[in-house]
Structure 1
């Protein structure tokens, strides 16, 4: 039979500490994950436009916004990014930029700020949703 001096394990205080850390991690995850999920839907909407690249230049900005709006409605996107659509028609290509910030109350007066910048260039559809560098943006 073993005595109490040879037994090892977590104490009650250690267990309570682990529970508190677990709760803090879950609370943070519930606040941080939704903005990234909604941004993934915004990226998916831009990728769907990139798949139909051949007729993108022939569409008007209102038609492009309408198609994006339908995608957002179906996928329940409610973030500010769905409103910040900048469509720039250039000589032979279309550049669609969806750049926005989302601010979420975290704890008391601490806010989390998420910045997203998604761009689609019809001349470079394979680089969809990555910010354009300064060299390709001027061409």
Structure 2
């Protein structure tokens, strides 16, 4: 019987290391994906608000909040962002801002902090859900 000059495959230590890395990646994904998924629902709510109401300026702030709340209820959005709705009416447009932070326990005393800032400007609804770069006080 002839022995090969080099063995092929991973050692037990190598397999354990690969399994630990895979578990760490899956654990991190379970912690990171839900906040981004809920923020996606929040931005979808703003997009559907703009799509279903071409004239946002005619809606009152309570009507806007009501429509967003209905969308959040249907999609089971529980994050803090559903409460932080800021509606600013300017001379010819409405700016709806949903800005919030979410803190998630990661491991023991390590927390993950996610900051989200979604804005809808009725004068540019196609640019929904990205923060405005221009100064709103210039209206």
Paired residues for 1:17-36 under 5 Å: 17-36=17-36
Moved over 2 A (4+): 4-7, 52-55, 134-139
Q: Distance in 2 between matches of 1:49 and 1:74?
A: 14
Shift of 1:52: 2.8
TM-score scaled by length of structure 1: 0.94
Cross-structure match for 2:44: 44
Cross-structure match for 1:89: 89
Q: Distance in 1 between matches of 2:129 and 2:32?
A: 20
Q: Distance in 2 between matches of 1:122 and 1:20?
A: 49
**Alpha carbon RMSD of aligned pairs, Å?**
1.4
Shift of 1:4: 4.9
TM-score scaled by length of structure 2: 0.94
Give the secondary structure class of the aligned counterpart of 1:65. Answer: helix
Q: Which runs of 5+ in 1 are unaligned?
A: none
Give the aligned length.
139
